[in-house]
Structure 1
């Protein structure tokens, strides 16, 4: 990792940890550098105007002052293309449209030289986009999940049986290359996995979800975990 990239990642990590802060030793392990290098990087951030605070003694560490803002987004062409490739290869993922809009915003604020190099490199990366459910169905499921409201779906199971069910959305899960809506099925009075591509219709109701939680779903499939745990 280049030093400029490490400085940005360092400030991001401090921001995410908020008032808890991070020890220099933990930061060093995270970035694979020495404690001395981390302290030098922290000094560089402070000298550049980033409001880094330090707390000595046991339980101490480093953090960002409350309300601190981050410098403008700065990506390498490779990082920009990585984002483009990720969202292009997963058009059926939850909130994929918002992800594409977010990437466009990032690209728009890159300097012209970086943007031009990213555009050239992107032409060398091809993706085979899988078919995705209708935009109306996906929008309804995404809205129901975000607002935690019951969604009424028309669903055809693997054996060809079609039913209409009221579902309290709990989570989206990707397994074996397919996206699923996992939620409390009021028809079966149990937690169920619904393959999104088998949902023929979805309507968000005005009914708020109950108290069902992710823990009721059980352990995630092998090699699966929440997206916020993927190295962030």
Structure 2
């Protein structure tokens, strides 16, 4: 883990457990660095404006301002493990890193008793992977950001005929099919909707331009698409 990732991870951990404290020794052990390194990291975060305060004393440590923390969560062990299974199955999909970060926050904000029960239950759940299975291509972070912020992508794309072309694409949605993840987008070169297989994108650049707001229902792709199953948050 590089320093930037470690600084982010420290903030996320303190946010999740606040108002509880984490000592420098605990943070050092978690991130595999020295106590002195953690102290320097905390100082750098404080100087950059992150509201971390130190509670001195025998049981002292570091904490994040309460307004940036999660309240206690009454998740059951089964609920937490269900989320962990979903996150594990989503590995390589869009927002996989965000899912792992969310799960860490949830576990840190649960009661110690429920967290311990969830960890014990997780030991009794296994995901079997076939040795012949081909790992899916992870969704590039530029594509994730484009979908979130509706920013235009500039890509080099290898089509089914093996022809490489440069495209500018307004992102509409991410679709998952038998051959992996696709980006449904409005191709500005062809001036029509297209499906772009992520493993055929040979170069990806996230531009600052915001694309038009389009829906899956009104943006029918040129290539055939099977029935689209919605992702529900309710």
What does residue range 51-200 of structure 1 map to in structure 2 within 5 Å? 72-127=72-127, 128=129, 131-133=135-137, 138-176=140-178, 178-200=180-202
Instruction: Report if aligned partners of 2:152, 2:208 keep a CA contact under 8 Å in 1.
Output: yes
Q: Structure 2 stretches of 5 or more lacking a match?
A: 1-69
Gaps of 5+ in 1: 1-69
Aligned residues: 158
Question: Would the aligned equivalents of 2:153 and 2:204 in 1 still touch at CA under 8 Å?
Answer: yes
Contact 1:155 1:163 in 2 (8 A): yes
Deviation (angstroms), 1:153: 1.4
1:15-26 to structure 2, matched below 5 A, reads none
TM-score (norm 1): 0.60
Task: Give the drift of 1:98.
Answer: 0.6
Deviation by residue 1:5-40 (Cα, 9 ceiling, x = unmatched):
xxxxxxxxxxxxxxxxxxxxxxxxxxxxxxxxxxxx
Classify 1:177/1:101 alpha carbon distance in 2 versus 1 (closer, same or farther; 3 Å).
farther
- Output one character per residue of 1:161-207: Cα deviation in whole Å (capped at 9) or x when no partner: 22221100011111226211100011221100111222222111122
SS in 1 for 2:217: helix
Residue 46 of structure 2 corresponds to none
RMSD across aligned positions (CA)? 2.5
Q: CA 1:145/1:80 → structure 2, altered by over 3 Å: closer, same or farther?
A: same
Partner of 1:62: none
Higher helix content, 1 or 2: 1
Asked whether the 8 Å contact 1:153–1:165 carries over to 2, the reply is yes
Cα distance, 1:106–1:211 mapped onto 2, change above 3 Å: closer
1:221 aligns with 2:226: yes
Give CA-to-partner distance per residue, 1:127-156, whole Å, 9 cap, x none.
34963436xx62111111111111011222
Cα distance in 2 for partners of 1:90, 1:216 equals 27
Q: Is the 8 A contact 2:147 2:172 kept in 1?
A: yes
- Alpha-carbon shift at residue 71 of structure 1 (Å): 6.9
Hey, what's the Cα distance between the residues in 2 that align with 1:175 and 1:133?
A: 13
Indicate how the Cα distance of structure 1 residues 80 and 191 shifts in structure 2: closer, same or farther if over 3 A, else same.
same
**TM-score of the aligned structures, taking structure 2 as reference length:** 0.60
